[in-house]
Amino acid sequence: MGMEGWGMLQCMQLTLAYVGPKGGARDGFGAMTQEYVKRSSAYADCRVEAFRSEEALLGWLGRLKGRAAPMTVLLDERGRQMGSQALAQWLGARRDEGAQQIVFAVGPADGWSEAARAQAGLLISLGAMTLAHALARLVMAEQIYRALTILAGHPYHRQ
pLDDT of amino acid 6: 46
pLDDT of amino acid 46: 96
Predicted confidence (pLDDT) at residue 128 exceeds the cutoff of 70: yes
E runs forming strands in 84-143: 101-106, 122-125
CATH number for the domain running over 3-153: 3.40.1280.10
pTM: 0.89
Cβ atoms 140, 106 nearer than 8 A: yes
Residues 6+ positions from 137 with CB-CB distance below 8 Å: 16, 18, 29, 30, 33, 48, 106
Q: Where are the domains of the chain?
A: 3-153
Per residue in 31-42, pLDDT (tens digit) is: 999 999 999 999
pLDDT of amino acid 65: 67
- Please give the C-alpha separations between residue 49 and each of 16, 85, 98, in angstroms, as whole numbers: 6, 25, 23
Per residue in 113-127, pLDDT (tens digit) is: 999 999 999 999 999
pLDDT of amino acid 20: 87
